[in-house]
Structure 1
Amino acid sequence: MNLVARSVPFGDLQLKNIRGSHLEAWVKQMHVDGLAPRTIANRFTAVRTIFRAAVRDRRIPTDPTVDVSRPPKKPTSREQQVEVPTPEAVAELLSATEPRMRAYIGVCAFAGLRLGEASALNIDAIDFLKRTLRVERQVQYKPKFGAEVKDPKHASKREVYIADELAEMLARHIKEHGAAPSGWLFHNGADRPLPPSTVDSWWQRTVKAAGTAGLHIHGLRHFYASGLIAAGCDVVTVQRALGHAKPSLTLDVYSHLWPTAEDRTRKASSAMLRDVLGHGADSVRTEGVN
């Protein structure tokens, strides 16, 4: 609730002086700032709860949130849900961010980690010899308890095969910035992994500096998934890399990124045609010599 209170631009106004227009402007600004639809909806619901309680207690006569359009928790289409940044945008983010968080972007964009999984990354989860990264924990925010380290989502425990370049980026991070005494790679200085509120503040500064305002950090995970798909990885490979419980979930989110049956048929036919014509050309050249 403290995070929500800090995010409202009308926090210095008395409840009776807050109008629907204040709330509309706040919701629009959150969209501009790149917050996820679910985050916007949750913050709006928290504020609406305060106004409803104030009406019940007769501190204000009406609830100003009534006529405000409630933001959807999910985008209305798959294309809207899957916001894939360009390689140029990811490069700008890496360049614009503070050095100690460059590897954070790296594990999200090139290993597909969720925000909570990246925050809970521990040095013992990295095997530099095998070039693997184990996802074993996540940082999760609970209203009553704050940030907690917990097991990741169902079926999300996984081993991710990482590129040599990402392994080098992580090794450089450890050499230059170290790790917390308990091994956390991204920590708050008190031997605790970064809480979601700190990551959110850093991300907003970074996208603004990179000129990519509006991009949500989850877009880096989509960037990773789209790269695997573009490289020809099948749905089960992508599912396991992302830690989805079922291939159907992966298809539900990313099916529009895979080539269609028509695309695959044309590509296969084209390969066969080139192969046949290639042999034909060799035959023609041989016949000419004889």
Structure 2
Amino acid sequence: MKRPFKEYAEEWRAIQPHRPSTAKAVAQHLRRYVYPVWEKRAIGTIKPGDVQSWVASLGATHHLAASTSRTVFNTVNAVFRAAVRDRVIPDNPCTGAKLPSVPHKRVVPLAVNQVRQLAEEIPGRYRGLVLLGASTGLRPGELFGLQLRHVDLLHATVAVEQQIQQTAKHGVYVGPPKTARSHRTVPLPKMAVAALKVHLRDFPVDGSEGWLFTAPQGGPVVYTHFMDGAWRPACAKAGIPKGVGPHALRHHYASLLIQHGESVKTVSERLGHTNAAMTLNIYTHLWPDSEERTRAAVDKAYADRPDAGDPRAQEAA
């Protein structure tokens, strides 16, 4: 109860199985937004009202977006949950906290001609990466993490078994995919197979463990170098708005599946989402309006006698 918040939080942070990017974000959340308020305060004296005031300050004082405020809150909530499990405190003061609403932003997928133009403008070593991302929906880190062993051109599939994340000082970390559902095998359309054959011809890979896509100086692709040296300049040349990142290729792929009638379940599986609800939350506005299909379904059932469902019509007959 009397332990300083920072002391417990640092012990908690040190034993978490976080990936490098997550560990970095957690450390920043605590250092920037939490320790200045509760660094030396006894963890057991922090009450729900204190948490609510702190949540409000994230927006009012630090001007954080609602989504960022929620992310920072989740870090603090995790610390307090652990403290309850460790019996350091009896209750979690984060329980019941009111969080800022996150405005829903509709995904606007890239059009086919935009993807084609982007593939033309980006350096040749990344042309296959753009086309593969647009035709499989792999996350950027999953694309960077592909090795030759993951690609089966004979059976036209690509296996997602790992991803690359950037670490401090432009290093890279090779780890498992984002979630358990992210482990998946994705079918390769003909355009992806053709693009990969061209890529492997122009940029041969040395052995099955070799990286499919590499940085200009060799080795795996580092995200910031890729963005600064290849992606952003290519987007500017292709007329793609600023702020559009490589995740847009994933949205493009999802939109193509939806346009061609794939179910929510299938789209979710291809993207490696945790569940179909997540897929719907992101892409529900892209599914065609179902009003006409609903009418058609009922009309088809009663096609032999359109008035069969109306007793009054039957009496009139």
TM-score with structure 2 setting the length: 0.60
**Whole-angstrom CA distance in 1 between matches of 2:128 and 2:245:** 17
Structure 1 regions of 5+ residues with no counterpart? Answer: 1-41, 54-65, 277-290
The within-5 A match list for 1:123-272 is 123-143=148-168, 146-154=171-179, 155-179=181-205, 182-188=209-215, 192-201=219-228, 202-214=230-242, 215-266=244-295, 268=297, 272=300
268 and 92 in structure 1: CA distance in 2 versus 1, 3 angstrom threshold:
farther
Shift of 1:175: 0.7
- The answer (yes or no) to whether the contact 2:145–2:164 under 8 Å persists in 1 is yes
Aligned-pair CA distance for 1:188: 2.5
C-alpha distance in structure 2 between counterparts of 1:101 and 1:135, whole Å: 19
Shift of 1:198: 1.6
Residue matched to 1:91: 116
**TM superposition shift of 1:83:** 2.7
**Residue 180 of structure 1 contacts residue 192 of structure 1 at CA under 8 Å; is this kept in 2?**
no
Q: Which residue type is aligned with residue 183 of structure 1?
A: G
Query: In structure 1, what is the Cα distance between the partners aligned to 2:171 and 2:294?
Result: 52
Q: CA deviation at 1:261?
A: 3.5
Counterpart amino acid of residue 174 in structure 1 = L
Q: 1:135 to 1:267 in 2, by over 3 A?
A: farther
CA 1:232–1:142 in 2, change beyond 3 Å: closer, same or farther? same
Q: Count matched residues.
A: 217
- Distance change in 2, residues 1:251/1:190 (3 Å): same
SS of residue matched to 2:103: coil
Give the drift of 1:71. 4.4
CA distance in structure 2 between the partners assigned to 1:232 and 1:211 by the alignment = 29
After superposition, residues 14-53 of structure 1 pair within 5 angstroms as 49=32
Q: Which amino acid aligns with 1:130?
A: H
Q: Tell me: CA distance 1:87–1:266, structure 2 relative to 1, closer, same or farther (3 Å).
A: farther
Rounded Cα–Cα distance in structure 1 between residues aligned with 2:195 and 2:176: 25
Structure 1 partner of 2:147 = 122
Question: Secondary structure at 1:200's aligned position in 2?
Answer: helix
- Offset from partner CA, 1:184-242 (integer Å, 9 cap, x none): 01113665310111222121111111111322221110010010011000011111100
What stretches of structure 2 of length at least 5 have no aligned partner?
1-24, 37-59, 69-101, 305-317
Deviation per CA, 1:36-66, whole angstroms, max 9, x where unpaired? xxxxxx8xx79x95xx99xxxxxxxxxxxx9
Offset at 1:180? 5.0
For the aligned residue pairs, the C-alpha RMSD in angstroms reads 3.1
SS in 2 for 1:160: strand
Could you tell me which residue of structure 1 aligns to residue 137 of structure 2? 112
Q: Is the 8 A contact 2:131 2:195 kept in 1?
A: yes
Counterpart CA distance in 1 for 2:184 and 2:296 is 33
Q: 1:222 is paired with a residue of what secondary structure?
A: helix
TM-score where L is the length of structure 1: 0.66
Cα distance change on mapping 1:258 and 1:196 into 2, 3 Å: same
Change (3 A) 1:72 1:196: farther
Residue 121 of structure 1 deviates from its aligned partner by 1.2
Task: Give the 3 Å change call, closer, same or farther, for CA 93–269 of structure 1 in structure 2.
Answer: farther
1:111·1:160 contact (CA, 8 Å) conserved in 2?
yes
Percent of counterpart pairs with the same letter?
31
**Residue 84 of structure 1 aligns to a residue in which SS?**
coil
The amino acid across from 1:211 in the alignment is G
1:232-283 deviation per Cα after TM superposition (whole angstroms, max 9, x unaligned): 000111111000111111111111211343142145468x49x98xxxxxxx
